[in-house]
Chains A and B, each alone.
Chain A
Amino acid sequence: MKSRVVVTGLGHVTPLGLSVDRVWEDVCLGKSGIRALASELHLGFRSKIAGYCVDFSPENCIEPKDVKKIDRFSQFALSAAKDAVTQSGIDFSQENPYRCAAIIGSGVGGLSEIEINFEKLLGKGASRVSPFTIPKMMSNAAGGHISIRYGLHGPSFAVSSACASSNDAVSYAMQLIRHGVMDVVITGGSEAALTRLGLAGFCAMHALSEQNNEPEKASRPFDRNRVGFVLSEGSGIVVLESLEHAKTRKAKILAEMLGCGASSDATHITQPNEDGSIASSAMQNALNDAKLNGEQIEYINAHGTGTILGDIAETNALKRVFGDFAYKIPISSTKSQLGHLLGASGGVELIFCIKAIETGVIPPTINLDDSDPKCDLDYTPNRARETKLNYVLSNSFGFGGHNSTLIIGRYQD
């Protein structure tokens, strides 16, 4: 008998703030977290806008002596994990530490650390490269720091599949719990690639929106005038545990993780498979895993980054899975408010799916003023909707051809 997997804690670091409830409120109100780039990042990038976590200060969750030794993406993860663990009420000193794990997705890891120390290497020589370069930049550092913070002796590592990293991390965490390998897993994703090299690299790919005049309107998934995504940063972390474990400690259960599914396009390292045929199999696998049929899904949090090809490919994939019913399911892309948090996006969006079930609100896709005729589904344009939700689906796709889908359900005993 497989264990059921439930969610008992949520934590966010986003450009709209750090409180899960406040971020959720703002997302539903259609507020944007996208701003003009900080002036030190004005280095001739065509894209001059981003979703920067202005409210974040590491001192709130990290000892002063450790702040400089931990990269921003791990700092985000520690902060979000702290909120998730607090909400879950779990006391790790009372747990078997060998049955508690930390699986944290990150597409990039500590990019700023690489940049800073490469500059030192070229400018001042090898002897001036910081001994913290490697422990800060490695993409598994977030999971490592969380395991240290809470004394978890189960596995801790990074899952890295670009912008699908969080969903793949959560999927793996679900399997650990389902199969009785772990009782509790802290999981999700974290990303802080809003750096000079990160911006320059994505700009060079022509992947980013260059609609710089009105930053709040630059992220416009599914709109006819979308031209690319807006680079953003942050973290979304959840506490997952087996239903039995949550019940034994009388935890408040926020939602149930019902299904996960993944696939690989195996076509091109960055371009999505336009007909959506492979991405659709990730969704179908997740539906099969959850033992649901498509018509039971009541809301979809789309990957919807706002790139020209990606939004069409996802639309096509949805039609392949859901057929005519695809036109009846409310869909939205909360990247319209927050931009694209890369490997952290799935974690943040999983939390939105759970809040949608909890509050009965479907968040809008903002800046959807003129629908692309090739994107003709119901993307919940510009205004939130209220409805009771039992089953929701969340997509994340990543460079490398990774497609990863999660299905979340209202917890029913």
Chain B
Amino acid sequence: MESIKEEVVNIIAEQLAVNKDQINEETDIANDLGADSLDIAELMIAFEEKFDININEDRAEKISTVGQVIEYVKSRRSADA
């Protein structure tokens, strides 16, 4: 089974058509990968579906790096478990 990190990276790579090698935990989704606000909204939906969580909109606005996504997903998964 893939780790949460791998799954997050896969979703971002597929959605934004970027190479996985370009993505690490410090990568800023908007500034480094060129995602606009619609791309980010679409990514949040993909994370919600993949991990079966709900991402609160206020919280989503504070997420900018891949590492923050991973942390948030982990926290939600343990909270919901």
Contact = CB atoms under 8 A, between A and B. Distances in A.
Interface of A: 63-65, 67-69, 127-128, 130-132, 135
Chain B interface mostly: helix
Contacts of B18: 65
B38 A132 contact: yes
Interface of B: 15-18, 34, 37-38, 41-42, 45, 48-49, 54
Given A63-B17, A131-B41, 14 more contacts: A64-B17, A65-B18, A67-B17, A68-B15, A127-B48, A127-B54, A128-B45, A128-B48, A128-B49, A130-B45, A131-B37, A131-B38, A132-B38, A132-B42
Contacts of B54: 127
A128 B42 CA distance: 9
A65 B18 CA distance: 8
Contacts of A64: 17
A132 to B, nearest CB: 6
A63 B34 CA distance: 13
Contacts of B49: 128
Contacts of A135: 38
A302 to B, nearest CB: 43
B41 A65 contact: no
A141 B15 CA distance: 21
Contacts of A68: 15
A202 B34 CA distance: 41
A152 B32 CA distance: 28
25 contacts: A63-B17, A64-B17, A65-B16, A65-B17, A65-B18, A65-B34, A67-B17, A68-B15, A69-B38, A127-B45, A127-B48, A127-B54, A128-B45, A128-B48, A128-B49, A130-B42, A130-B45, A131-B37, A131-B38, A131-B41, A131-B42, A131-B45, A132-B38, A132-B42, A135-B38
Contacts of B45: 127-128, 130-131
Contacts of B48: 127-128
Q: Which 7 A-B pairs have the closest CB atoms?
A: A65-B17, A64-B17, A131-B41, A131-B38, A131-B42, A65-B16, A128-B45
B54 to A, nearest CB: 7
Contacts of B17: 63-65, 67
Nearest to A124: B49
A128 B37 CA distance: 16
Contacts of B16: 65
Nearest to B45: A128
B56 to A, nearest CB: 10
Contacts of A67: 17
Contacts of B42: 130-132
A64 B18 CA distance: 9
A164 B37 CA distance: 36
B59 to A, nearest CB: 13
A128 B48 CA distance: 9
A92 to B, nearest CB: 23
A135 B39 CA distance: 12
A200 B1 CA distance: 42
A241 to B, nearest CB: 33
